[in-house]
Structure 1
């Protein structure tokens, strides 16, 4: 467990660096680009980002990592390299075809995903141009994820976790220094996505070279390793990307709402992704290779113990992060984004959806930790069926709510679907005896809920005391930053004290064996 905790910490630290840069990126974009333009950019970016979850972090990674670890443990060095070469060749070939099709039919794609832009030909034309520029990102980032899978198998977690920071850096530089060279200025962001994708791919090559695992592409669909990876991958295409599919649907529906709705949803989702990426993805990424190895060695007791350790850690940290997002939604949005082109009204609208998305952050973190329990067993059908059901839940709720509640209704639909996803994954893992859930876990969850209730009350009181003489909109930028930092620190301290009072200690939590 100590090695897992250390690896999770390294991954989380590098991910945090990337996410902080992502936060700076969002601040810069919000300041210099009005929400009408960013609505179009975020719509164009959403399409390759959704496909990225199919072919990169999601379906492909969950299928490739267990097969790679199995080959690394049992096959010869030449057989392992052959697997890497052939999977790289087939994946690259498939992605090249998809990229060419996406660029060719970018107009049709943007007309579907941004159907609400139909009444403005200029917005549609701009969306088509930006999608044509950003679509190759799916090829670049998927090959980057392939390289990351190899590095993770050799316990190299820091570099893959830091790699996304390069995209953020490219976007920040484009927004600050190149926006005035484009007409309209938002095109600078589209080109930054393309350049960032290239940088992310290139930075991992030297480490792969030193490991002697740099792939030489070979295209053969008959290679047994290729068949195994893609047999596992195909059922997970939807299973590992339910959240992104839901967001894509929300983007499409939001395009028919008032101007700014897509941007408000995007920024609130981005803040939710901060704890999900740091906590859920970090733990899930680190335990997947270990779970796959334990499954190969038929060590069912350690397999269950690892999952139990991960889920308890995710519950404690994830619940605290979700409570913080809900209670501090408006202070965060005003402090982080309310400047330049991003008005106080937009900050309030984004905060409304963040409060709803904030609840869902807990479920998303749990999903990221539970899903590897299936993928390590090379069981891709169960999470896929669950994800399909959850996508249906989201679609029904979104269609029922978005006209009445606007963008907040879309956030609510996604949050409910996320909780359904997490609950069903847990139930089916329990049925498969992959987890040792019992009354002790139920008591543990109740204690965590009590601790979060205490933290919520403490944050509400502290916020009311700090703003007793006015509102967050009346504060200067430095006052906002200082007050928000104080609230976050106070929230963390109150949560730690509350956990101690209900007799949950981090040191003991880390050392849990089951």
Structure 2
């Protein structure tokens, strides 16, 4: 299968995940609105998500996948299977301890994440309660990440890309049926969402097990103390844990930034945490469909090319990924900056979600949109370092960018409130991506192929034409005036999006860009 087809498959499945995720957010917005209790749920959900990004698709995946691909390339499947068993054993012990400590220390974690919730005692207590219920989610998702790393290395991309849909389905069920049922029982309805998260984590792990069994790669976990010592001393485990330490710091930097931003938002107007969360969910469409899809496909391929010492293939893989980023991320960023309000209004303006909430979420979305290209490019550039088992360089860059982001918060938040937090993240991502790119160029790891200047000019010109169409569409229709007309507003949004895509790709074709060049083996 070509890289383009693999990335397209992951992207399509990720699109299904994001669509169901959007339905989930729409249901939550219309059912619960933006209140102290929704802030409490979002804070509680962020705590296991923060650790998930540390243990699962963050530091663990960054260290595990390159080592796994390298061992398979050099030593074969038998040695790879043994390494997976040992790493799974260590992971199981670490997660058990983490979950016990997390449940016991939930009040401290909630206070550290959002002390501003103390202004609403009910909100703080609700956040603590939901954190305790959702904390085991981190254990499910860490083993999902282990399974996904194995399956992606074996080029089985479909199941790992599709599993997030199950979390969304579980949370949709919780919002649609669980919340009313809890209310009828006299239980706070928002608590149903915590149950949905836990169920979703279990379902995501469950669907990966049959595929691992068919591949003969189902991890065998040993729970004896002597087995833990043996697993810890395995060379593969030592290599992964050695790489995890700087990766953990790197991912921690991003999560510290999120922690600080959540802390700041919790002290702003009520609903600020929720407005940022709703905007972030929309940002996940382009970042996940393109950035995550490319990262998933490229990392094992880059690691294999590096293990085989094929420098030309390594550079060509990066070049192909970056060209796709420019081709698709630039028009997406333009769309978010010029068409944010219609997107937010059509997708969220229902039930308890007011016109004021639309306006506030729009500001946050535009802030994120300013850095969309950087957010997606990082997903291609960082694996360029991880595949070389160089995690320290991205970490150093991330630390400096964290400091820069917080300085920008001091400048932006007094004037833009929560939208200033989003803008600081966006600009920080652009700086991060540019720094990573310079690092790869200076090392000689990446050599751009000819034709970049002409390609960039074609993309910018086509995006400019598209922006004119989107600005006209945003101003010409009263997007807040379609209450009670769901089909009309969704249909009009679809027409505008399709029209913008046609303007963009037709302009590229007229400019002489051949899109077939991106479909390669």
Map Cα deviations across residues 78-97 of structure 1 (whole Å, 9 max, x no partner).
Answer: 32221000111111211221
TM superposition shift of 1:243: 4.4
Aligned: 1:249 with 2:274: no
Contact 2:3 2:519 in 1 (8 A): no
The residue aligned with 1:472 is 480
- Contact 2:144/2:204 (CA < 8 Å) preserved in 1? yes
CA distance in 2, matches of 1:78, 1:438: 38
The aligned counterpart of 2:70 is: 70
1:102 aligns with 2:102: yes
Matches of 2:324 and 2:414, distance apart in 1 = 38
1:350 pairs, out of 341, 361, 369, with 361
- Higher mean Cα deviation, 422-431 or 404-413? 404-413
1:233 aligns with 2:237: no
Deviates more, 1:392-401 or 1:433-442: 433-442
How much does 1:474 deviate?
A: 4.7
- CA separation in 2, counterparts of 1:181 and 1:103? 26
Instruction: Measure the CA separation in 2 of the matches of 1:433 and 1:293.
Output: 18
- With 475-484 and 102-111 compared, the bigger mean Cα shift is at 475-484
Q: 1:103 to 1:338 in 2, by over 3 A?
A: same
Asked if 1:270 corresponds to 2:269, the answer is no
- Aligned partners of 1:440 and 1:77: how far apart in 2? 40
Change (3 A) 1:464 1:70: same
Q: Contact 2:133–2:198 (CA<8 Å) still a contact in 1?
A: yes
Contact map agreement 1:58 1:241 (CA 8 A) in 2: no
Q: Distance in 2 between matches of 1:327 and 1:245?
A: 30
Please tell me whether the aligned partners of residues 318 and 446 of structure 2 are also in contact (alpha carbons under 8 angstroms). yes
Instruction: Report the RMSD for the aligned CA atoms in angstroms.
Output: 1.7
CA drift of 1:10 comes to: 1.1
Given candidates 196, 201, 210, the residue that maps to 2:200 is: 196
Q: In the alignment, is residue 19 of structure 1 matched against residue 18 of structure 2?
A: yes
Query: Counterparts of 1:202 and 1:474 in 2: how far apart (Å)?
Result: 41
In 2, Cα distance between equivalents of 1:471 and 1:212: 53
Conserved? CA contact 1:69–1:292, under 8 Å: yes
- Give distance in 1, aligned partners of 2:24 and 2:89: 34
1:438 & 1:322 partners in 2: Cα distance? 24
SS state at 2:495 partner: helix
Distance in 2, Cα, partners of 1:230 & 1:196: 28
Q: Distance in 1 between matches of 2:479 and 2:283?
A: 24
Q: Secondary structure at the match of 1:108?
A: helix
Deviation at 1:509, TM superposition (A): 3.6
- Residue matched to 1:307: 318
Query: Would the aligned equivalents of 2:5 and 2:519 in 1 still touch at CA under 8 Å?
Result: no
Task: Please report the TM-score for the alignment, with normalisation by the length of structure 1.
Answer: 0.95
CA distance in structure 2 between the partners assigned to 1:99 and 1:431 by the alignment: 43
Contact 2:342/2:479, CA 8 A, preserved across alignment: no
Within 5 A, what are the aligned runs for 1:407-426? 407-426=418-437
Map Cα deviations across residues 162-182 of structure 1 (whole Å, 9 max, x no partner): 001111000000011111333
- Superposition deviation, residue 241 in structure 1: 5.9
Q: Is the 8 A contact 1:46 1:248 kept in 2?
A: no
Measure how far apart 1:385 and its partner are.
0.6
Corresponding residue of 1:32: 31
Deviation at 1:501, TM superposition (A): 3.3
Q: Is the 8 A contact 1:45 1:131 kept in 2?
A: yes
* TM-score computed with the length of structure 2 as normaliser: 0.94
Is 240-249 or 352-361 further displaced after alignment? 240-249
Task: Tell me the secondary structure at the aligned position of residue 350 of structure 2.
Answer: coil
For 1:240 and 1:313, locate their aligned partners in 2 and report how far apart those are by CA, in whole Å: 25
- Answering whether residue 378 of structure 2 is matched by residue 367 of structure 1, we say yes
Q: Offset at 1:419?
A: 0.6
**Alpha carbons of 1:249 and 1:439: their partners in 2 closer, same or farther (altered >3 Å)?**
farther
SS of the residue corresponding to residue 155 of structure 1 reads: coil
Match of 1:324 among 328, 332, 335: 335
Pick from 496, 499, 505 the counterpart of residue 508 of structure 2.
Answer: 499
Query: For the residues of structure 1 that align with 2:38 and 2:250, how far apart are their CA atoms?
Result: 29
Residue aligned with 1:259, SS: coil
- State the 1:454 CA deviation: 1.5
CA distance in 1, matches of 2:25, 2:192: 14
Q: Using the alignment, how far apart are the partners of 2:63 and 2:100 within structure 1? A: 25
What secondary structure sits across from 1:35 in the alignment? coil
**Stretches of structure 1 lacking an aligned partner (at least 5 in a row):** none
Match of 2:225 in 1: none
1:102-141: CA deviations, max 9, x gaps?
Answer: 1111001111211111222221111110111111111110
1:488 and 2:492 aligned? no
Alpha carbons 1:243, 1:414 under 8 Å: kept? no
Deviation at 1:240, TM superposition (A): 4.3
Contact 1:398 1:409 in 2 (8 A): yes
For 1:477 and 1:242, the matched residues in 2 are separated by 41
Q: Does residue 3 in structure 1 map to residue 14 in structure 2?
A: no
On the 8 A contact 2:63/2:240 being kept in 1, the answer is yes
Q: Indicate conservation of the 8 Å contact 1:167/1:193, yes or no.
A: yes
Shift of 1:149: 0.6
C-alpha distance in structure 2 between counterparts of 1:435 and 1:279, whole Å: 20
How many positions carry a matched residue from both structures?
508
Structure 1 position 178 matched with structure 2 position 197: no
Q: CA deviation at 1:34?
A: 2.8
Decide whether the 8 Å contact of 1:238 with 1:387 is kept in 2.
no
Q: Helix, strand or coil: the match of 2:435?
A: helix
Could you tell me how far apart the structure 1 residues matched to 2:310 and 2:4 are?
20
Matched-pair contact (CA < 8 Å) for 1:333–1:347:
yes
